[in-house]
Structure 1
Amino acid sequence: MSTEPETTKDGEPDGTEAAEVSEAQAELEAQRVERERIERRKAEKQGPVESGTKLSGVAADLLAAVRAVESGEKPVAAVFADEPRRAAVAPEPVRRLPQPVVEPVRPGAGSVAAVAEVLVAGGAPGGLAGQVLGVLGEGAESRLREDPWQLLRVPGVRLEQADGFARTLLGGESSPGDERRGRAVVGWLLEQAALAGHTVLELPALTAALAQRGVPEPDDAVQSALAEGEALVFQDALEAEGGEGAEGAEAAVRVLVGLERYALAEESLADGVGRVINSAPGEGGSGAEAWEAAASGAAGELVRAVAGHGLVLHTGGEDSRVEVAELMRVAQGLGLRVWGAVHGPVGRARFAALVGADGPGVVTVAGLVGGLEGPGRDAEGAFDLDLLVVLDAPQLDVETAALVVESLPDGARLVLSGDPGVLWSVGAGRVFADLLAVRVCPRVASRTPDPGPLGELVSGIGVGELNQVEAPGKEVVIVPVRDAGEAVHRTVQLVADSVPRAIGVPVEETVVITPGHGGAVGTRALNAALKERLNPGPGRFGGFDAGDRVVYSPVPGRVLPGVVLGADSEGLRLSCSGEEVVVAREQVERCVRHGWALTAHQAVGGRWPAAVVVLPGDAAQALSRPWVYTAFGRAERHLSVVHGVEQALARAVAEVPAKPRTTRLPLLLGARPGEDG
């Protein structure tokens, strides 16, 4: 792994090398910071909350109403009857600074054994005990006995499994209408919604989903969850029928329900955006002449926008990164402390090469927020920098974005740069798209096109057109297939033989992208076939052999490409971007997969000299314009399309946009629901 030079207070290299940091370490540290932030904010709200304190606008009012329900001062039904309000960016929001990270207390063997005993008694695997303790904390065994549906809080547990567990423990006392089950299913549905990208659900959608899961009184279940503080309710005013301000028109209200963690993150992010916008120097501020003098070439418009604004959104394809790199060098030349952040080690290495060895430092987002990479923090806990540029901004989920914005010092500038056509974040929210839509800051569209036949093809897909392009150098090759077996065979042939021989791209620089993990042509099937051809072996290390290409996921949603070095008593040893990583034996099955073939979500943010995109016949329903745009855009020099979906590909590009996500960020920033920029 590459390292960044340590800096002095002024941001200049001091000549010493920074300690190397494992990418896995950075990911886990960022996850730990996030957990601490959530627990700190929960603790802040344990007492009565007055409207307008800690949170702002709608969230403060409705949170106070929920607390009134908990104390018995207000009936639950009244929570839904409060006068709706619209939230807006506060003119002078207060920055919430991250607190020191506290190492979590690790449960003892006795606690694990006690939880495992309850799990086994209910027919669940005892091996889940560690995860249950991590979610429910000390006393988890008592909580499970009192409320078996608490098992639904553990990621990956399905509703039917929790129901079976409850029936075994409770016997005849278990029923679909149990109030405990209703509350748990509300939380589980909201977690499932977050996995699909939503930060909140509209109340009718939530109650309908509860009814489908056998909850006999969905409204009562929602109200019980609100009363127990396991969810929050929000009311957002819609435009009155007949137009805003129409005489006698009754204002419509959209009722939303969400989990506290995402509500807090969106509130915090909206406040932070307002602070960044309002605390930055204006266009006539000091140094304006120097910025203007430096604003030339392709990056000129971006430089001028950043000169006078705290937040700037920059959009463009892969080659537009040259504009961002130039901006960073310009800002460094003007004496600013500048850092760039990307979402993974592959992207970091590529962008660092573009910025140049003498340019500003480039880190991963996880390493930055976790404090393991980058400028460090000042005495107030804020990043020690003047300008932060975050690339691949569509990959920012709402919680990570809140952490980044909260950590910016007053007066710092933030640039979010990315391609709005790619797949959105794995985590909840659609931060970049929401910010683009509400128009609260300058938006600079790149004028640097991606070149060649590949650039022409991907640009067309971005506007809904699947064009045939001239590819005299075999930049784009279509390989038609009839069935799944042929798709697997041709994919292996392309990677192992055709692409290295005809294009000159070696196997290790070629990526295979397919729509999903399962099925006859998913990542599992393709990786098994590719391993058999490229690195056969018995899988002596938990299914892996030295030399296997893998992806390691230290936390859900983040993947680090690597190669297996071997294994010993400590675990499986990997090389991830040049850094050796040891994955504990008990984590290998959950965190490590073979990595010759990836999904588009796993590949986003990276680029390879050659990409083989596999579209089997059963993938037609999974295709969308963002998926195709993302998958095809991973190729730098050559793209092979193993094509078995006939006209479904063209239809997906022309007719299937990104699946909508329900979020509150536009409302918190002052936009109406449905308003689109």
Structure 2
Amino acid sequence: MSTEPETTEETGPGTPEMPEAQGAPGTPGAPDEAAGGGLAAEGGAGAAEVSGAGETSEGAEGGVGEETAESAEGAASAEAAEAAEAAEAAEAAEAAEAAEAAEAAEAAADGAGKPELSEAAAELAAQRVERERIERRRAERDGPLESGAKLSGKAADLLAAVRAVEAGGKPASTVFAAPARPAPERTPEPGPAATAAAPVRPAPEPEPEPVRQERPAPMPAGPSPRTLDAVRRVLAEGGAPEALGQQAAVALGEGAGELLRADPWQLLRVPGVRPEQADGFARALLGAECGPQDERRGRAVTVWLLEQAALAGHTALEAPALAAALAQRGVPDPEEAVQSTLAEGEALVFEDALEEPGAPAAQPADDEEEAERPVRVLIALERYAMAEESLADGLARLVNSPSQDGEETWAQVVAALSGGAAELARAVAGHALVLHTGGDASRAEPAALLGAARDAGLRALAVCHTADGRDRLAALPPTRGAGVGTVAGLLAGTEGPGRDGDGALELDLLIVPDAPQLDVESAAMLVESLPDGARLVLGGDPALLWSAGPGRVFADLLAARVCPQIASRLPDPGPIGELVSGIGIGELNQVEAPGKEVVIVPVRDAGEAVHRTVQLVADSVPRAFGVPVEGTVVITPGHGGAAGTRALNAALKERLNPGPGRFGGFDPGDRIAYSPAPGRTLPGTVVKADAEGLHLSCAGAPVVVPRERVEAWVRHGWALTAHQAVGGRWPAAVVVLPGDAAQALSRPWVYTAFGRGERHLSVVQGAEGALPRAVAEIPAKPRTTRLATLLRPQSAMD
């Protein structure tokens, strides 16, 4: 499953458009046209030898498989913390009272003959011993345990921390966190004194920052067998394929069978099902009672259209556009269908005032004037409407809450920086919310801010869209590899700091360098997690594709002008940087590329485009540039079509890792794109397949995808769409633009795709004039959102 949904029909009047990078089954995977008069083209074998293309999926990174020892230790530490928090407070206090003594005794008894355990594993073992000992002590006496009277050192500190948890003074997760400094090595004396000494083994070196490696979330529990059987029986009665049973049970939950029988159009809640298919299912179940005027159908189609709009990036639809789309779907009374949907609570309605271009900020007016102001009526699904409301409220809270950091601290941060980084730091010192814009090179400025803030003692963290972006940011010298994570990891709790008693992140400064890729729900969760007084820096390149999920958070904030905006003056280097910078302002320029950094490979048709792409990835780029196959990414506009990701991945698999594809088309060694949630794709490799499912290695962590979810969640990953590739960069990139790609191209798409290669870019060009026309004339597709309107009152007050 990719980050962009697919469609099987063209968008009609009033119907929400799908994301530009999506590919429909049977729809061209949209390639690009020739570079027009802009780029120098090189044909023949010579061009093929200096072009490149490759692999990986969204955020594919070189850091896959690194830090396995640290990941294992982090997992054990997390397990220890959960076990400790789950115990009763009294039992935890007693376990803490003697944890160190048991640990030392165990070490002394074992001697050097046993292999050393990690600190977390030893702590778990000690806790198990102490629980048994505590139970024996409880059985021997009726009174409460005497706690802490004779303790000292680490044991006394641990007991005091547990008591603080009991009193509500601090969260339990902080009690069992790794120590800030390694404990000094001490050799216990033999005899009873050894029970009070530190363990024989040295304490491990602490992590420089409590950022843990991102791991995919655990698989959610599937539907019960009873529910699944009931759904399959109803599907069989309605003539629907049994393969939909699992998806329908997951989408509709317990009681899905009864729900489908009572309202067959609820089948539209299953991903991939279209209204005409749900109509056929309903006719088979309801017979003569089925008709287009059925209000159940009107509600279901209304919700389906709003879901399709969300897949296209909208958080709401204007009422006239929704009514037109309903009429196109055969709903006889669109207004009645919308009202029924609102009455059932399946959608919400909003009236947002319209601001005329160039008009001054709204001022208080009497009732008559207020009634005459133009408004637009918007219909939205509750989840996206509430996410935008929550995001706007959270931003206002941050802006209006007093800072917890002194002026001297921020003066120290500013003094440590220079140039654009110092300008950014001065803005952050005076404002809780700051926007930072610029290309990939501009990430050096928030990285410098992060390093200076941490040096000044601030709790600072930067989170990127992908693990590849995290690793590249961590490689910049100012960060020294610390204080960097991913958005998904931070929200899942697998990366970043802990949370305080109120559930807020223990941060003074959060930097998001990839803010254009934030969808409205992720952005709302991030802002809600920040404590009062924290500072937030949202940065990124506004010319990139917007988020794969609904919303255009960064663009709306830039348009609302509710906070300082700092524009970086650092240009992206080299011929590729020069080319991409021109595309950002609508110009496809010819650039000097003496080292073959940019090459055009003309092709006549989609078949030749696929052939030349495989040649580039497997032979030309490795030979000419020394870039291995895994260092090249192939990007194409869509999944379908003769040169979409499906066709390209099939050809690349045949050349690079041939095999029978015994498990859903996959073999060990296949590169994959694993998408457990819309908008998030993890690169990985197939390890094996067995009765449990498909075993993957994603970002160094093992993942098992159940058999029934492989088709929906896993694709081959040698070739990606631009939405899957955004947030990552590779040494080489091959952008495939077949002749039927013209309608899929836009300036943000070309800008994003061409910018994925660091050292080399090959453009497999068969679209002729469509490429320069897209760069010059086709901006980002508009999205209907409410965030800018929700922020407007705050802007007017400021």
TM bin (shorter chain): 0.7 to 0.9
Q: Secondary structure at the match of 2:610?
A: helix
| Residue pair 1:282, 1:308 contacting (<8 A) in 2 also | no
Q: Which amino acid aligns with 1:394?
A: P
Q: Distance in 2 between matches of 1:292 and 1:490?
A: 51
| Residue pair 2:737, 2:763 contacting (<8 A) in 1 also | yes
Give the equivalent residue in structure 1 for 2:545.
423
| Residue pair 2:211, 2:484 contacting (<8 A) in 1 also | no
Q: Secondary structure at the match of 2:296?
A: helix
Moved more, 157-166 or 121-130: 121-130
2:288 to 149, 163, 172: 172
What is the TM-score normalised by the length of structure 1?
0.84
Query: Unaligned stretches of 5+ in structure 2?
Result: 1-64, 78-172, 182-204
Moved more, 482-491 or 10-19: 10-19
What is the TM-score normalised by the length of structure 2?
0.71
Give the equivalent residue in structure 2 for 1:89.
none
1:194 to 310, 319, 322: 310
Give the equivalent residue in structure 2 for 1:59.
none
Q: Which amino acid aligns with 1:574?
A: L
2:278 to 162, 181, 187: 162
Q: Secondary structure at the match of 1:373?
A: coil
Give the equivalent residue in structure 2 for 1:98.
none
* Greater relative contact order (CA < 8 Å, ≥ 6 in sequence): 2
**Structure-to-structure mapping, 1:260-279, within 5 angstroms:** 260-279=382-401
**Structure-to-structure mapping, 1:92-103, within 5 angstroms:** none
Q: Distance in 1 between matches of 2:359 and 2:758?
A: 49
2:613 to 491, 494, 498: 491
Moved more, 579-588 or 435-444: 579-588
Q: What is the CA-CA distance between 1:655 and the residue it aligns to?
A: 0.3
2:704 to 577, 582, 585: 582
Give the equivalent residue in structure 1 for 2:491.
369
Q: Distance in 2 between matches of 1:150 and 1:162?
A: 8
Q: What is the CA-CA distance between 1:357 and the residue it aligns to?
A: 7.2
Give the equivalent residue in structure 1 for 2:215.
23
| Residue pair 1:149, 1:162 contacting (<8 A) in 2 also | yes
Q: Does 1:123 align with 2:216?
A: no
Q: Which amino acid aligns with 1:371?
A: G
1:549 to 656, 671, 674: 671
Q: Distance in 1 between matches of 2:298 and 2:377?
A: 19
Q: Which amino acid aligns with 1:207?
A: A
Moved more, 279-288 or 486-495: 279-288
Moved more, 565-574 or 592-601: 565-574
Percent identity between the two aligned chains: 70
Give the equivalent residue in structure 2 for 1:37.
none
Give the equivalent residue in structure 2 for 1:658.
780
Q: Distance in 2 between matches of 1:12 and 1:415?
A: 29
| Residue pair 1:283, 1:307 contacting (<8 A) in 2 also | no
Q: Secondary structure at the match of 1:312?
A: strand
1:306 to 419, 428, 431: 428
Q: Which amino acid aligns with 2:284?
A: T
Q: Distance in 2 between matches of 1:13 and 1:619?
A: 55
Q: Distance in 2 between matches of 1:276 and 1:312?
A: 11
Q: Distance in 1 between matches of 2:274 and 2:549?
A: 19
2:715 to 593, 596, 602: 593
Encode CA deviations 1:257-307: one digit per residue, 9 max, x unaligned.
100001110000000000111124399845343233223134111111111
Q: Does 1:138 align with 2:330?
A: no
| Residue pair 1:615, 1:642 contacting (<8 A) in 2 also | yes
The structure having more radius of gyration, on CA atoms, is 2
Give the equivalent residue in structure 1 for 2:266.
150
**Structure-to-structure mapping, 1:373-522, within 5 angstroms:** 373-522=495-644
Q: Which amino acid aligns with 2:691?
A: S
Give the equivalent residue in structure 2 for 1:326.
448
Q: Which amino acid aligns with 1:301?
A: E
Give the equivalent residue in structure 1 for 2:32.
none
Q: Which amino acid aligns with 1:553?
A: S
Q: What is the CA-CA distance between 1:168 and the residue it aligns to?
A: 0.7
Encode CA deviations 1:347-390: one digit per residue, 9 max, x unaligned.
22222222567453222211111112211211110111111111
Evaluate the alpha carbon distance shift between residue 211 and residue 547 of structure 1 in structure 2; reply closer, same or farther with a 3 A threshold: same
Give the equivalent residue in structure 2 for 1:353.
475
Q: Which amino acid aligns with 1:128?
A: L
Evaluate the alpha carbon distance shift between residue 181 and residue 559 of structure 1 in structure 2; reply closer, same or farther with a 3 A threshold: same
1:524 to 617, 632, 646: 646
Q: Distance in 2 between matches of 1:578 and 1:435?
A: 35
| Residue pair 1:235, 1:254 contacting (<8 A) in 2 also | yes
Q: What is the CA-CA distance between 1:21 and the residue it aligns to?
A: 5.7
Q: What is the CA-CA distance between 1:413 and the residue it aligns to?
A: 1.0
Evaluate the alpha carbon distance shift between residue 476 and residue 538 of structure 1 in structure 2; reply closer, same or farther with a 3 A threshold: same
Q: Distance in 1 between matches of 2:673 and 2:408?
A: 47
Moved more, 192-201 or 285-294: 285-294
Q: Secondary structure at the match of 1:552?
A: strand
Q: Does 1:222 align with 2:222?
A: no
Q: Does 1:237 align with 2:369?
A: no
Moved more, 537-546 or 126-135: 126-135
Give the equivalent residue in structure 2 for 1:344.
466
Q: Secondary structure at the match of 1:653?
A: helix
Q: Distance in 1 between matches of 2:618 and 2:280?
A: 47
| Residue pair 1:513, 1:597 contacting (<8 A) in 2 also | yes
Q: Does 1:625 align with 2:738?
A: no
Evaluate the alpha carbon distance shift between residue 366 and residue 188 of structure 1 in structure 2; reply closer, same or farther with a 3 A threshold: same
Q: Distance in 2 between matches of 1:494 and 1:105?
A: 43
Q: Secondary structure at the match of 1:639?
A: strand
Q: What is the CA-CA distance between 1:552 and the residue it aligns to?
A: 1.0
Evaluate the alpha carbon distance shift between residue 551 and residue 243 of structure 1 in structure 2; reply closer, same or farther with a 3 A threshold: closer
Q: Which amino acid aligns with 1:307?
A: A
Q: Which amino acid aligns with 2:330?
A: G
| Residue pair 1:207, 1:218 contacting (<8 A) in 2 also | yes
| Residue pair 2:268, 2:300 contacting (<8 A) in 1 also | yes
Moved more, 578-587 or 558-567: 578-587
Q: Secondary structure at the match of 1:172?
A: helix
Q: Distance in 2 between matches of 1:325 and 1:588?
A: 38
Q: Distance in 2 between matches of 1:538 and 1:198?
A: 41
Evaluate the alpha carbon distance shift between residue 449 and residue 21 of structure 1 in structure 2; reply closer, same or farther with a 3 A threshold: closer
Query: Unaligned stretches of 5+ in structure 1?
Result: 29-103
| Residue pair 1:295, 1:304 contacting (<8 A) in 2 also | no
Evaluate the alpha carbon distance shift between residue 22 and residue 565 of structure 1 in structure 2; reply closer, same or farther with a 3 A threshold: farther
Q: What is the CA-CA distance between 1:208 and the residue it aligns to?
A: 0.3
Q: What is the CA-CA distance between 1:448 and the residue it aligns to?
A: 1.1
| Residue pair 2:497, 2:507 contacting (<8 A) in 1 also | yes
| Residue pair 1:513, 1:599 contacting (<8 A) in 2 also | yes
Encode CA deviations 1:590-630: one digit per residue, 9 max, x unaligned.
21111111110110000000000000000011000000000
Q: How many residues align?
A: 598
**Structure-to-structure mapping, 1:277-316, within 5 angstroms:** 277-281=399-403, 285-316=407-438
Q: Distance in 2 between matches of 1:212 and 1:590?
A: 29
Q: What is the CA-CA distance between 1:570 and the residue it aligns to?
A: 2.4
Give the equivalent residue in structure 2 for 1:183.
299
2:377 to 250, 255, 264: 255
Q: Secondary structure at the match of 1:575?
A: strand
Encode CA deviations 1:125-181: one digit per residue, 9 max, x unaligned.
233233323332222222211111111112221111111111111011111111110
Q: Which amino acid aligns with 1:141?
A: G
Q: Which amino acid aligns with 2:449?
A: L
| Residue pair 1:329, 1:359 contacting (<8 A) in 2 also | no
| Residue pair 1:346, 1:577 contacting (<8 A) in 2 also | no
Q: What is the CA-CA distance between 1:339 and the residue it aligns to?
A: 1.3
| Residue pair 2:215, 2:494 contacting (<8 A) in 1 also | no
| Residue pair 1:190, 1:201 contacting (<8 A) in 2 also | yes
Q: What is the CA-CA distance between 1:511 and the residue it aligns to?
A: 0.6
Evaluate the alpha carbon distance shift between residue 637 and residue 240 of structure 1 in structure 2; reply closer, same or farther with a 3 A threshold: closer
Q: Secondary structure at the match of 2:684?
A: strand
